Structure 1
Amino acid sequence: MFKNVIVRVPSKTISEGLTSADEGKPIYSKALMQHENYVSALTKTGVNVTVLEPKDEFPDACFVEDVALCTSKCAIITRPGAMSRRKEAALPDMLEALENFYEHIEYIKEPGTIEAGDIMMVGDHFYIGLSERTNQAGADQMIQILESYGLSGQAVEMKEMLHLKTGLAYLENNNLLVAGEFKTAPEFEKFNKIEIDMDEAYGANCIWMNDYVIVPEGYPKVQEKIEALGYKVLVVDTSEFRKIDGGLSCLSLRF
């Protein structure tokens, strides 16, 4: 069960965020409203939410998931692969927030790069996608740190998605949403795979929160499949964040 969540309010510069999507620039006022609704949905799942102030010098800083991995034993500060995001990982308020909850904080060091959007937690095991943002050195360091705390990890080759969790979401109870290249990935054979069609692939980025599943708005087939598994569903519009390659999981650290 999750007890705590850390989020960061989007900044006025959000329209300058990194993007590979061709959907126009996010509108700040809309992004702000969508973020408030997201926090409200998180609160409904019974967690305590820590809200950090916006950082105008970092347009992507609302995507807090990428800068730290929160495990049951320690927090690990990442080293983002995107150069413009590298200093986000060292922001003092994030470190302070993590220190409130964690006695042990570890760091990924050069030449490793890793963004936690590439890491999917399944119990005490962590799948780490090798992407344009996460390299082998980063994955190796992460696995070494995890193992030192009695946890485990493995690297997953990937070719198409921006981040591992762009096309995967673990919903506990062995249920795994899979889209695109992950439908046939051998690493995920043993899961009960719920396959998501490419036209709703963005909807595969859901989050399980204490028996609820938060689902992005506008993906009815995804929502239907999750409801059919018996989960309580909360729907949140993240369309402004989609414009800068962001999804539901990117917007929070959950532990």
Structure 2
Amino acid sequence: MSQHRIPRNRTYLMCPPEHYEVAYAINPWMDTATPVDAELAVKQWERLRETLTGLGHKVHVLAPEPHLPDMVYAANGAFTVDGVAYGARFKYAQRTAEAAAHRAFYEAGGWDFRAPTQTNEGEGDFAYLPRAHGGLILAGYGFRTEPAAHAEAQDVLGRPTVSLRLVDPRFYHLDTALAALDDGNVTYYPGAFSVASQRVLRQLFPHAVLADEADAYAFGLNLVSDGRNVVLNSEATGMARKVEAAGYTAVLVELSELKKGGGSVKCCVAELRP
């Protein structure tokens, strides 16, 4: 079935985990008592980068900065649509300085960068589907990003924005509970969302691939897809079977060390939409 799914070349931003460690705990997955194999984290990250470039995608690399161990989760630094970059404003002080590093990257690259006034964590809580209902932003709130940022993103990016309430702290960012499989459809774990938000998702995406708790717990929703190839955490075997059954090609990558910080494939990858 996979031949019916058409991939589209993408451009991504990643940041190597040279300073990565779990030095604090700001989500339920982080445990400062659990050691991180820093060397293995770098190898796993590099394998993810090579997987994306091997699929024909371009990957820009953001230089990591000391004392910012979560910079590896590059998706959180901004959200881009049609050459406009809506910057991040992190909730927790430990990550605040990451925003400036991302801003410098976008400004140096000639992007129309818009500084936020509201707390938001970039593509961690925003997803864009250019062919869904004429171009639609899905926006999560409940743990990190403030609802007011959804209105700000809509104003800045000029796309209708649908707010979705996250209710399970294990799935603290939208990208741990929902992912775009292509330019018009998504996969998501219903249990991560409020009853009202589940209703909205059913209306918007009647053909969505539904994940279960085991898929979500294995970070199976924290994926990157080019419309055909779905790159996801190797632990998420059930999710891999679901996307294969829907006609996509699952590409498994081991990211055990990055999961210790509360992230997986998508957290490490921001999509750049020039």
TM-score by length of 2: 0.83
* 2:231 and 2:252 in contact (8 A); partners too: yes
Per-residue deviation at 1:236?
A: 0.8
Per-residue deviation at 1:57?
A: 1.1
Question: What residue is the counterpart of 1:223 in the other structure?
Answer: 240
* 2:14 and 2:74 in contact (8 A); partners too: yes
Per-residue deviation at 1:139?
A: 2.1
> Residue 223 of structure 1 aligns to a residue in which SS?
helix
Which of 210, 220, 239 is residue 256 of structure 2 equivalent to?
A: 239
Letter in 2 for 1:4: T
Letter in 2 for 1:242: K
* 2:22 and 2:36 in contact (8 A); partners too: yes
Runs of 4+ in 1 over 3 A off after TM superposition: 94-97, 99-103
Which of 236, 251, 254 is residue 268 of structure 2 equivalent to?
A: 251
> Residue 54 of structure 1 aligns to a residue in which SS?
coil
> Residue 80 of structure 1 aligns to a residue in which SS?
coil
User: Does 2:100 match 1:108?
Assistant: no
Which of 158, 169, 184 is residue 166 of structure 2 equivalent to?
A: 158
1:14-163, aligned counterparts within 5 Å? Answer: 14-16=21-23, 18=25, 19-21=27-29, 24-91=34-101, 94-99=102-107, 101-109=109-117, 112-116=118-122, 117-123=124-130, 124-147=135-158, 151-160=159-168, 161-163=171-173
CA distance in 1, matches of 2:263, 2:225: 17
Unpaired runs of 5+ residues, structure 1, are none
* 1:68 and 1:75 in contact (8 A); partners too: yes
User: Does 2:201 match 1:188?
Assistant: yes
CA distance change for structure 1 residues 235 and 210 in 2, over 3 Å: closer, same or farther? same
Question: What residue is the counterpart of 2:214 in the other structure?
Answer: 199
CA distance change for structure 1 residues 25 and 118 in 2, over 3 Å: closer, same or farther? farther
CA distance in 2, matches of 1:25, 1:133: 25
For this pair of structures, how many residues does the alignment match? 248
CA distance in 1, matches of 2:194, 2:161: 20
* 2:234 and 2:254 in contact (8 A); partners too: yes
TM-score by length of 1: 0.89
CA distance change for structure 1 residues 10 and 22 in 2, over 3 Å: closer, same or farther? closer
CA distance change for structure 1 residues 194 and 103 in 2, over 3 Å: closer, same or farther? closer
